[in-house]
Chain A
Amino acid sequence: MAVVYEKPHALTDAVLHYCPGCTHGIIHKLVAEAIDELGCEGKTVGVAPVGCAVMAYDYFRCDMLEAAHGRAPAVATGLKRSLPDRVIFTYQGDGDLAAIGTAETVHAATRGENITIIFVNNCIYGMTGGQMAPTTLPGQVTQTTPYGRDVKLAGYPIRVCEMLSTLDGTYYAERVSVDCVPNIRKAKAAIKKAFQNQIDGKGFSIVEVLSSCPTNWGLTPVEALQWLRDNMIPYYPLGVYKDKDKEADNNG
């Protein structure tokens, strides 16, 4: 019988703990497929965050570390500076990367650290049960913004790709979504490019993936994907925010 589809080798057989309808599983698969296709599993070391993806170290078959909350880019820096020929990636959520780990993120980018960051943005703290994230939308109801995020009180969301694209050290920043098949395909290409950039020694690459959280948004999986399309994509437009490859093409 012909094999038409296989689970990527870079994923272990562990059963994912994610909630039904959560898109972390898709993003894990895309990362694993990129690693498989680039043939770099044996020389890859991943860094898991604190947040919903905390146990990513059990899911990827490459060597893995579990970092303190927000510190993954610093941990990845220590790894990369010690093992320059290895492929180092972090997998981080919005609270991890854009709140408690903002300094680590910004400075890894501005140093042009040759690492790959997969940034999963679902506008909420999932693991702790649905509190306001740095990316929670204005008016969005969470456990700690029960009347909706009031920007006068809680400020505005951070647009990470836009912010990092202002830094000279950032090589590549793209925002993608996994709400539908065409977008999943684009997300896959972006993730693979972010790994390829590192292998080619190009520098800091980040892919922001808009992701759904049906449990903490209080929606069904299908409704959640629609909510992502209706609310997140307008605030966080998809696309390439920085790509030094393109800049070089344009200048040349």
Chain B
Amino acid sequence: MAEKVLMKGNEALAEAAIRCGCKRFFGYPITPQTEVAAYMAKRLPKIGGTYMQAESEISAINMVYGAASAGVRAMTSSSSPGISLKTEGISYLIGSDLPCLIINVMRGGPGLGGIQPSQSDYWQATKAPGHGDGHILVFAPSTIQEMVDLVFDAFDLAETYRMPAMILADGMLGQMMEPVVFPEKEVVEHEKPWAANGHQGKREHNIINSLYLKPDELERTNRERFARYEIIKEKEARVEEYLTEDADIIVVAYGATSRIVRAAVKAAREQGIKAGMVRPITVWPFPAKAVAKAAETASRMLCVEMSLGQMVEDVRLAVNGKVPVEFYGRTGGIIPTPAEVLEQIKKIAGGAK
């Protein structure tokens, strides 16, 4: 049986990536994700990989662009202000249909913000990971075990759909320790006939490019990419439902916040309030169907985030006015307590009577 080990979230992310066959890491130090880089710097040279500390976040993501173009598994890791710098490169990765893994261990913003946990990059990750029409896969783990499991899925789906994938974690998940079991499964990297790795005189030259000067070609390319997104929305949206079956009040939360909400929902149940939780595991694609379904049976919904309200917009779009969707959030690095969330649930429950 696989061994259970106690690991810090950031280090578990790094180890999971290595076990996925990712031997190319390009990064730049930033709190609270630096342990990902430090772990890679220690491990990768021992196994024939490359850890490289780039001169900037911009260079790091462009090194990923080069490695991904070569057809190898590559990744970078950063935290909020660093991800802003990477958005140029992310847009080019989208436009060139390149798979890679990007980790965002979110901290408070905007600007330099703070270094405590936050979920205030939801909009950036899900709506505008770079300029232009385009998306990346965004996974939102809530435990260290799930971070590990989702790294495997992120690499696999990034290659399946030829697009970047992001693990959207936060400073709390990155810095905490939990027991984790690494999956003992064989990792199969996808064939990459498109890679620019030298034609060896055996094929026409491959071109990795995002420039289309003819508007009809660019529109066609973008439409093809969006057709792929529709398949992804249909097949890859993931959600966990907790005590939703008979729930009158459904709380929607993702990532570290969902751990707090889970405790609050349990406490509400103990006080006779029929509360439940819907937890998006993918935030792009957003599990709109599952959220809409929850709205059919609940009378009220509450979205809780470590931001001033970002995912709540997707929740309201999914619910489409069927039930009222309230919001509660803390930001700037403040983590809401179960008691605060319980109070919100009770307030809503009272209002429903």
- Selecting from B172-180, B192-200, B273-281, the interface stretch reads B192-200
Contact between B67 and A66, CB atoms less than 8 A apart? no
Within 8 A of A (CB), among B214-230: none
A188 to B96, CA, bound (A): 32
Q: Is A61 an interface residue when CB atoms closer than 8 A count as contact? A: yes
Task: Verify if B7 is at the interface (C-beta below 8 Å from A).
Answer: no
Q: Which residue of A lies closest to B202 (CB)?
A: A42
For residue A81, which residue of chain B has the nearest CB?
Answer: B50
Residues of chain A within 8 A (CB-CB) of B71 are 82
Interface residues on B, range: 35 or more
CA A65 – CA B209 in complex, angstroms?
Answer: 6
| A164 nearest CB across to chain B (Å) | 14
Among A68-106, those with CB < 8 Å from B are: 68, 71, 74-83, 86, 103-104, 106
| A residues less than 8 Å from B208 (CB atoms) | 64-66
Q: Does A54 interact with chain B (Cβ within 8 Å)?
A: yes
Given contacts A71-B89, A74-B58, A104-B55, contact A41 B201 (CB under 8 A): yes
Residue B54 lies at the interface, judged by CB distance under 8 Å to chain A: yes
Given the interface pairs A42-B201, A64-B208, A104-B59, the reply to whether A78 lies near B67 with Cβ below 8 Å is: yes
A107 CB-CB contact with B under 8 Å: yes
Interface size on A, residues (CB 8 A): 36
Query: Are B66 and A42 in contact (CB-based, < 8 A)?
Result: no
Question: A40 — nearest CB in chain B belongs to which residue?
Answer: B198
Most buried by A among B60, B89, B207: B207
Chain B residues with Cβ below 8 Å from A81 are: 24, 50, 52, 63, 66-67
- A79 & B59 in contact (Cβ 8 Å cutoff): no
> How near does chain B come to A235, taking the closest CB pair, in angstroms?
28
- The 8 A CB mask of A31-63 against B (1 = contact, 0 = none) is 000000000011111010000001101101111
Specify which chain A residues have a CB less than 8 angstroms from the CB of B54 in the assembled complex.
Answer: 74, 107
Indicate whether B74 reaches chain A with its CB closer than 8 angstroms.
yes
Q: A238 at the A/B interface (Cβ < 8 Å)?
A: no
**Contact A74 to B205, CB < 8 A, known contacts A42-B198, A63-B199, A104-B55:** no
Residue of B nearest to A64 (CB): B207
The residue that B63 contacts in the complex, of A60, A65, A75, with Cβ under 8 A, is A75
A66 near B197 with CB under 8 A, answer: no
CB proximity to B under 8 Å, residues A4-44: 12, 41-44
**Contact call A74/B59, Cβ cutoff below 8 A:** yes
What A residues does B92 contact at CB under 8 A?
A: 67-68
Contacts of B59 in A (CB 8 A): 71, 74, 77, 103-104, 107
Contact: A78 with B211, CB < 8 Å? no
Residues of A within 8 A of B70 (CB): 45, 78-79, 82-83, 86
**Chain A residue contacts of B200, Cβ below 8 A:** 42-43
A contact residues around B142 at 8 Å (CB)? none
B211 touches A54 (CB 8 A): yes
A contact residues around B62 at 8 Å (CB): 67-68, 71, 74-75, 78, 104
Q: Is B14 an interface position by the 8 A CB rule? A: no
- With contact pairs A81-B50, A82-B66 given, residues A66 and B209 touching in the complex (Cβ less than 8 Å): yes
Partner of A68, one of B89, B196, B197, B202: B89
Number of A-B contacts (CB under 8 A): 135
CA distance A131 to B66 in the complex (A): 29
Given A63-B207, A78-B64; A42-B199 close (CB under 8 Å):
yes
Which residue, of B67, B69, B207, has the highest number of chain A Cβ atoms within 10 A?
B69
Cα–Cα, bound, A106→B64 (Å): 19
- Docked-complex contact A68 and B198, CB < 8 angstroms: no
Cα A225 to Cα B209 with chains together (Å): 33
Do B201 and A65 touch across chains, with their CB atoms under 8 A apart? no
Is the pair A82, B209 in contact by a Cβ cutoff of 8 Å?
no
Q: Is B122 an interface residue (CB 8 A)?
A: no
Question: Provided the pairs A71-B89, A103-B59 are in contact, do residues A86 and B197 lie with their beta carbons within 8 angstroms?
Answer: yes
Proximity string of chain B (237-277) to chain A, C-beta cutoff 8 Å, 1 when within and 0 when not? 00000000000000000000000000000000000000000
Nearest CB to that of A55 among chain B residues?
Answer: B211
List residues of chain B with CB within 8 A of the CB of A55: 211
Which B residues form the contact surface with A (CB < 8 A)?
24, 26, 50, 52, 54-56, 58-60, 62-72, 74, 88-89, 92, 96, 196-202, 205-211
| Chain A residues engaging chain B, CB cutoff 8 angstroms | 12, 41-45, 47, 54-55, 57-58, 60-68, 71, 74-83, 86, 103-104, 106-107
The contact sample of 17 A-B pairs, CB cut-off 8 A, is A42-B199, A43-B198, A43-B200, A45-B70, A45-B198, A47-B66, A64-B205, A64-B208, A71-B58, A71-B62, A71-B89, A74-B63, A75-B69, A77-B63, A78-B24, A81-B24, A104-B55
Counting from the closest, the 9 A-B pairs by CB-CB distance are: A78-B66, A78-B63, A74-B62, A63-B196, A107-B55, A82-B70, A74-B59, A71-B62, A75-B66
Extra contacts, 15 of them, besides A63-B205, A107-B54 (Cβ < 8 A), are A45-B197, A45-B198, A58-B207, A62-B198, A63-B197, A65-B207, A75-B65, A78-B63, A78-B69, A81-B63, A82-B24, A82-B71, A83-B70, A103-B59, A107-B59
